[in-house]
Amino acid sequence: MNYFSLVKFQLRKKSNYIVAVIIGLIIGIATLVYTYETSWKNYLNKDVYEDITFRNLHIQTDNETSEEELQKLQALDYVSNVTYMYEYLKTYEIEDLTTNAETFARADFYTANNESLPQIVKGTDFPDDDGYYMVCPENFYSVLYNYEDLRTKTTSDKDDLSYYLNKELTLKYNGVLYNATKSEKYIFRTKVKLVGLYKNSQYSIDETTCYLNHNAMHDIVLNEYTDALNDYENQKNNGYILTVDSANHMDEVKENLDKLGYYYQDVSYIETDYLNNIFNNIDVAIFIVLILVFIFVFFIFKKDFKEDKAYYELLKKVGFNNSEIKKVYFLTSIIKSVIYICFITIITLIIFLLLKVILNYFPYLFVKYKVIYDYKIILYTLLILMFNLIINVFLNSRKVTLK
């Protein structure tokens, strides 16, 4: 017997589609909110928290720093790089990229080793010798007055440093005595070879962040303190900067430092509690929405069963046996579930299509981060529908054939 002939009439029931649209809109909006949350979390976890700025600890010591102690810290688990505080971060002009006297091609230089460098996409990481090397970002904005410019710059303004790969660039910088003397003697230039370009994160602070190997940074800083050796020696009391390999390991490294008796501070700190509270609230809200959808669908199935009961009684009267009637009921429930699933999927896709169109015209609406389309909510809804189907069939399969 073709059971579908006996249930296809359910496709004519308008209330099926009204309910499906309602559930579709609820789930579509919930999926949109969840996508927003997932995208934010992904952005924070992959880019923001992993940015080198938030993985650095300033270790303060009572004694003068020493190479021996630096190596001891370097050997700790999850520590990718340790530098002296005074060799940690400097800002220099890349003279080859400066186009006129009013603007400077300025970059921030961190000291790094191959372990702490970000992912290299062109060229290589630092060679293992005593040369002077640097790694720069793939998207590099050379001419800036301040960081605000980054937000207004377009991709066409960036420098393509591929041209300079494996060439020497000149870093220009002033010595510590330049301000006092204004003497040309304290304007220094050091040639550093650009060996690699790294992949920028989405978080817009690394477009002028470059990395120097230890050797280069050490000698450049020493140059800065020409004729000011006392000042240079004084810097040695400023402790170390320790870079952790991943934001996930920050707590473990801090624990180790506590055990060793070090006093430390986060170089930069981002307040996460507020954001985590928002995410938790969103999760709770979505959970409640799913529970409500479950209850709603349960009562819809129950109501539909009451309405369809007369049909099942009719089938009995015209000669269908109990087993046949149960199959009709089961197939009817499946068809309804399929209608709901189709509508939920279509409406959610329409909502996301609209989102894509909006983002095309207003790309900065959701800040500069990647939208991760998370369809987990649809899967949960599918489970809800299946579960409801099973429960209702279980509860009603005996009642189907009763008067």
Partner 1 sequence: MLKIINICKTYTINKNNILILQNINYEFQNSKLYCIIGKSGDGKTTLIEIMGLLLNYDNGQIIINDKDVSKLNENNKAMIRNKEIGFIFQSYYLNPLMKAYENVMLPMYLDNSLNNETRKHKAYDLLSQVDLKGRENHFPKELSGGEQQRVAIARALANNPDIILADEPTGALDSENALNILDILKNLAKKGKCVIIVSHDDRVKKYADVVLKLEDKSLKEVTE
> Which positions touch partner 1 (CB under 8 A)?
1-2, 5-6, 9-10, 12-13, 310-311, 313-324, 403
Our CB check for partner 1 shows the closer of 10 and 202 to be 10
Using alpha carbons only, give the angle 342, 347, 349 rounded to the nearest 5 degrees: 95
Our CB check for partner 1 shows the closer of 257 and 325 to be 325
Q: Please spell the DSSP secondary structure of 171-183, one letter per residue.
A: EEEE-TTHHHH--
Our CB check for partner 1 shows the closer of 312 and 340 to be 312
Q: Please give the DSSP secondary-structure letter assigned to residue 44.
A: I
Comparing CA positions, the residue from 115, 333, 400 lying closest to residue 245 is 115
Helix, strand, coil % over all residues of the chain, rounded to 5? 55, 20, 25
Tell me the closest approach of the beta carbon of residue 304 to partner 1, in angstroms.
12
Tell me the closest approach of the beta carbon of residue 16 to partner 1, in angstroms.
10
Measured distance CA(41)–CA(332) in Å, rounded: 41
Half-sphere exposure of 323 (CA within 13 A, CB side): 1
**Contact (Cβ atoms closer than 8 angstroms) between residue 253 and residue 47:** no
Tell me the closest approach of the beta carbon of residue 319 to partner 1, in angstroms.
2
Tell me the closest approach of the beta carbon of residue 344 to partner 1, in angstroms.
23
Six-digit token pair at 162? 């591929």
For residue 188, the cross-strand partners are 173
Tell me the closest approach of the beta carbon of residue 326 to partner 1, in angstroms.
12
Our CB check for partner 1 shows the closer of 18 and 295 to be 18
Tell me the closest approach of the beta carbon of residue 335 to partner 1, in angstroms.
12
Residue for token digits 């983002």? 359
Q: Please give the DSSP secondary-structure letter assigned to residue 65.
A: P
Question: Which residues, 6 or more positions from 42, have their beta carbon under 8 angstroms from its beta carbon?
Answer: 369, 370, 372
Tell me the closest approach of the beta carbon of residue 310 to partner 1, in angstroms.
7
Tell me the closest approach of the beta carbon of residue 303 to partner 1, in angstroms.
15
Tell how many helices (H) and how many strands (E) occur in the chain.
11, 11
**Contact (Cβ atoms closer than 8 angstroms) between residue 262 and residue 350:** no
Six-digit token pair at 317? 């009267």
Question: Which residues, 6 or more positions from 235, have their beta carbon under 8 angstroms from its beta carbon?
Answer: 84, 85, 86, 225
Tell me the closest approach of the beta carbon of residue 322 to partner 1, in angstroms.
6
Our CB check for partner 1 shows the closer of 13 and 158 to be 13
Our CB check for partner 1 shows the closer of 261 and 319 to be 319
Measured distance CA(70)–CA(271) in Å, rounded: 29
C-alpha 222 chain-centroid distance = 38
Tell me the closest approach of the beta carbon of residue 318 to partner 1, in angstroms.
4
Our CB check for partner 1 shows the closer of 16 and 39 to be 16
Our CB check for partner 1 shows the closer of 200 and 337 to be 337
76: how many CB neighbours lie within 10 A of its CB?
A: 16
Tell me the closest approach of the beta carbon of residue 325 to partner 1, in angstroms.
9
Our CB check for partner 1 shows the closer of 14 and 259 to be 14
Comparing CA positions, the residue from 205, 90, 231 lying closest to residue 147 is 205
- Phi and psi based region of residue 266 (left: phi greater than 0; alpha: psi -120 to 50; beta: remaining): beta
**Pairing of β 120-123 and β 240-244:** unpaired
**Contact (Cβ atoms closer than 8 angstroms) between residue 188 and residue 159:** no
